[in-house]
Amino acid sequence: MRRRTLARLTIAATSLSLLAALPAALAPAATADGGGHHAYKRVGYFTQWGVYGRDFQVKDLDTSGTADKLTHINYAFGNVGPDGKCFTGNVPGEADAWADYVRPLDAAGSVDGVADTDGQPLAGNFNQLRELKAKHPGLKVLISLGGWSWSTHFSDAARTPASRKAFVASCLDLYIKGNLPEDGTRGGAGAAAGLFDGIDLDWEWPGSEGDTDTVFRPEDKQNFTALVREFRTQLDAYARTLKKRKHYELTAFVPAAPAKIDAGFDVRKIMRDLDFVTLQGYDFHVSGEKTTAQQSALFARDDFSGDQTVRDWLRRGAPARKLVLGVPFYGQGWTGVTGGGDGLGQPAGGPAPATWAAGYEDYKALKKLAASGTYTVHRDRHNGHAWLFDGTTLWTYDDPHVLRTKTSYIRDRGLGGAMFWSLDGDTPDGELIMAIDKGLKGR
């Protein structure tokens, strides 16, 4: 089996200045849907590579009760090649068709309890997501393109009208029409047709620095606007060809730093074509920094925060109902912390040891640390964040208490809902998604 590990550590920009406060009057709260529940979005990222080391399978979303509490699953990620087109295959570090649609699952590992067969064209995560949707009508699955590691060629793909048309057409052909490359008996024309309900653009970041090999240009801002328009145009055109008309959703993951917003996003224009955006509500500070700090506070003085991110997007013309606040299902950690006290704002020696990547730990593991008696749980209830500290090692993270504060904020501000990175960080019984679901229902 091939394994790929990607780090989604979107390092905060250098500017820490706050903009003037926004007037209190915001958009009205979300309305109720046909089931009597508030129509807040609950968007969870499912990581392609989580099926390996973490052994987090699509079926786990069903058995944990998580699927019942989701409106959207964003499948992370689809890649863009040097030719500016969406692609898949089995290329270490670049594509994993084995996980996506080739890997067979037995009856015990399948959502529907039926083992995959050699002759079926769709297996792997894609087939399991299809089965999950059949069991949970109304659940939508979007393909997320890019991410921190795979935004390398976005700027090239979006550079000209011709390149944008070719890029978008390739993504629709692969994911929306489901024309997968043949891999033995898997794949082929229409193999994944009907699986994806839209596209999520995770270009990190147009117009400003991202991962080390990610290309960015000053003209990315206008090109991203045009790319969003091209996706909307082609998605709508394809929908009109179907016997049963549908609306394909188009969303984007967008940054917290004002400098990055202004460098890459014409907010008023892109919001006309996007169904909603998910806001970076985490990685405000990361374990690579030399001083411990909050990574996902709702409020903060002279620093990044969830509230300031919301206000920055509102000030630039985004409707509140189209803003979905991101929350982490993981923590950022430091070790070698000196200076005493509660550990926050103190010098650190480096990222803390962790299960999968230094300085990055799933919530389910941090919950065990909190219960171990070795760590003290600290809370800033007013500002909406928590951290663990044992005198040497500190982890900043969100737990159910913090999420209740954040969901109350979402309801009070009339926002579109909550997004979380990533589903595999939750406990086996879905503790965090349960807190979000209850919070958005006002319970």
Question: Three-state SS across 370-419?
Answer: HHCCCCEEEEECCCCEEEEECCCCEEEECCHHHHHHHHHHHHHHCCCEEE
Q: How far apart are CA 81 and CA 152, in angstroms?
A: 8
Q: How far apart are CA 23 and CA 21, in angstroms?
A: 7
Q: In 258-287, which positions are buried (b, 16+ CB within 10 angstroms) versus exposed (e)?
A: bebbbbbbbbebbbebbbbbbbbbbbbbbb
Q: Using CA atoms in the order 337, 339, 344, 345, what is the torsion angle rounded to 10 degrees?
A: -100
Question: In angstroms, what CA-CA distances link 321 with 133, 307, 374, 413?
Answer: 25, 15, 42, 9
Amino acid of residue 35:
G
Place of tokens 């941090």: 366
Question: 230, 223, 232: which is closest to 251 by C-alpha?
Answer: 232
Contact predicate 239/247, CB 8 Å: yes
| Tokens read off for 233 | 């145009």
Question: 326, 355, 351: which is closest to 422 by C-alpha?
Answer: 326
Question: Three-state SS across 151-187?
Answer: CCCHHHHCCCHHHHHHHHHHHHHHHHCCCEEEECCEE
Contact predicate 428/364, CB 8 Å: yes
| Tokens read off for 165 | 């048309």
The residues that are catalytic are 204
Q: How far apart are CA 138 and CA 70, in angstroms?
A: 9
Q: How far apart are CA 12 and CA 359, in angstroms?
A: 15
Burial grade of 379 (CB within 10 A; 0-12, 13-18, 19 or more): middle
Q: How far apart are CA 124 and CA 62, in angstroms?
A: 16
